Amino acid sequence: MRMRREAQLATRDRCEVNWIASDSGADAVKGKVRWDPAHSLWNGGMLVVAVAFGAQTFSWGAFAVFVLLSGAFILLGHSLGFHRLLIHQSFQTLRPLRYFLIWCGVMAGMSGPHWIIKTHDLRDWAQRQAKCHPYLSHRSAIWKDAWWQLHCRLQLKRPPQFDLGEVGKDRFLRFLEASWMLHQLPLALILFALGGWGWVVWGICARVASTVHGHWFVGYLAHRRGPQSNLVRDAGVQAHDVPWAAIPTMGEAWHNNHHAYPGSAKIGVYPGQSDWGYALIALLQKCGLVWDVCLPRDMPDRKRSLESVL
């Protein structure tokens, strides 16, 4: 089974939008932005609690919990589990470790695995078109874009068709999708037992609020301004790097590199570009825990689609 899977991965286009089955007749421009009550109340609620109670519950212990858990779940969950593994399949790993990394992605607090896939790939697909809705290109004013991305969803009149395949049928991932908010509760109980309400406020609410809002802010900047190494031919939206965010995003902020080589497990491609996500993948590969790690050199044909601006 593993050999057949590796053969399939070796022959597929590592830069494709993996989970869109068909975009025949799809339109990336026409659609309406609607309020998304579940994510709006979740994101807004976490921010309100963090702002209202953060100062009065602050302690250095609570702050240390905030930093350590934020770093762990962004690195293991958002960067490795959700983005590089689940969405782009830039490496493969053992099923228990795969599930653990994806669970860590849920613990980052943005949403469940299916929602993350569809949201990411819709934007990925749309930005490759000649034109797309400003919701998908981050082309609105900053406060409007913040409201849209954190509290709303886009309903295209003619969206592309998704096929999640085995990922959509996987019972564990379906469970995570249905219960993603609830997974903070066991951790909250542990934090309360160890450090009281301060650890809960900083370890849950402040952490989730900063992760969600930070993810939006870096994404906003990464599609508007900053250094560029390559342009993707025929793409209506180009990406920029956000160097100051390289460490807090575990390497995800080298977004121009990511647009250039979407399937690469290494996003900090050039010398001096910090990429803790890939550093961990490389370590796990040496330990025999991951394999089929895709790098830019594994996509030699991709250069035909790029224009260097260095």
For position 237, what pLDDT does the model report? 96
For position 7, what pLDDT does the model report? 45
For position 11, what pLDDT does the model report? 52
Parent domain of 65: 2-308
For position 309, what pLDDT does the model report? 85
What is the rounded CA–CA span in Å between residue 101 and residue 103?
Answer: 5
For position 135, what pLDDT does the model report? 98
Write down how long the chain is: 310
Q: How many domains does the chain have?
A: 1
Q: Is the pTM of this model over 0.85?
A: yes
For position 12, what pLDDT does the model report? 65
What is the rounded CA–CA span in Å between residue 217 and residue 203?
Answer: 21
For position 196, what pLDDT does the model report? 98
Per-residue pLDDT of the chain (310 residues; tens, 9 = 90+): 444 444 444 456 778 898 999 999 999 999 999 999 999 999 999 999 999 999 999 999 999 999 999 999 999 999 999 999 999 999 999 999 999 999 999 999 999 999 999 999 999 999 999 999 999 999 999 999 999 999 999 999 999 999 999 999 999 999 999 999 999 999 999 999 999 999 999 999 999 999 999 999 999 999 999 999 999 999 999 999 999 999 999 999 999 999 999 999 999 999 999 999 999 999 999 999 999 999 999 999 998 999 988 6
What are the DSSP E strand ranges found in the chain? 20-22, 31-35, 92-93, 152-156, 161-162, 230-232, 290-291, 306-308
Q: In sequence order, what are the beta bridge partners of 297?
A: none
Q: Residue 261: exposed, middle, or buried by beta-carbon count in 10 A (0-12, 13-18, 19+)?
A: buried
